[in-house]
Amino acid sequence: MEGIVEKIGVFGVVLLALAVLIGVGFGVFSIAKNTANEGVVGVQDALGAMNESVFNDYDQKTLSGTQVVSAYNTMNGKPVAIIVKTCKGEWVNYNALITPFTSTSPRQLGAPFQSMSKDALSKQYSVTASFFDKSSAGIELAHVMSDGGGDVSKKVVLYNNVTTDMTKNGNQNYVTSTAKFSSYLIKDAGDTIIGIVFIQQGKHTLGT
C-alpha cells in the first residue's frame, strides 16, 4: 500500500513539473511573439522615417545637377516620377511615368507642367510647392493592368528608364553637374508623394 502511495506521489510531482514547464514555455513564447511583433513594427516605422527623410531632401531645395542625377539613381525602379526641366530643354519624365503625358514621348507632359511660361520658369516667381501638390487635378502614376483587363489589383506602373537625354553632353536636356535646380514634390489626390520635379535655375528658352 505504501508503495502505491509513493508511486502516486511521484506521479503527482511529475505532473506538477510538466505543468510548470508548459507554463514557462507558453510564457517564453508569448514574450518572444510580442518582441517579434514589436520588431516588425519598429522596422516598418524605420522604413517610413527613412522614406520621409529621403523626400524631405527634395522638398523645395536647391540642388546641383549631380544631385539630380543621384536622385534618379536612388529612385530608379521605385514608383516615383523624376521630372526634369533644363533651361534649354523640354519637360522630361524619367523613371515612373505620371499622367497626363503623350504616350509617344514621355517628354511632352500635360498640365500643369506645360502651362508654365518661359518667363515664370526663368524668374521662378510663380513656381511654388502647391503648384505640384494634390490640387493639380489629374496627376497620378501612369499604369496598365497586367492582365489586360480592369482588375485594379493588377496595376503595373509604367517606366521610362532611358536617361540618354539627361547624361549626354550637348543634348538640350543634358543635366550639367554644376547647374542649380529647384526641387518640388508631386502629390496625387490622395496626398501621396508620387514624384519629384527639378527645374533648372536660370533663363529658360523653351516653354509656352
Does residue 106 contact residue 83 with C-beta atoms inside 8 Å? Answer: no
pLDDT in tens, 155-164: 788 888 889 8
Beta bridge partners of 54: none
Residue 18 corresponds to which cell in the numbers above? Answer: 510538466
One-letter amino acid for residue 173 of the chain: N
Residue 71 has a CB neighbour count (10 Å cut-off) of 23
What pLDDT sits at residue 16? 54
What residues contact 120, with CB distance under 8 A and at least 6 apart? 126, 127, 207
| DSSP codes of every residue in 16-54 | HHHHHHHHHHHHHHHHHHHHHHHHHHHHHHHHHHHHHHH
Q: What is the mean pLDDT of residues 140-149?
A: 70
Q: How confident is the model at residue 71 (pLDDT cuts 50, 70, 90)?
A: very high
One-letter amino acid for residue 172 of the chain: Q
First to last CA, the chain: 107
Mean pLDDT for all residues in the chain: 73
The residue that leads in pLDDT, 17 or 61, is 61
**Would the pLDDT of 127 be above 90?**
no
Confidence (pTM)? 0.69
Does residue 184 contact residue 131 with C-beta atoms inside 8 Å? Answer: yes
Give me the residue spans of the domains in the chain. Answer: 1-56, 62-200
DSSP H or E run through 109: strand 105-109
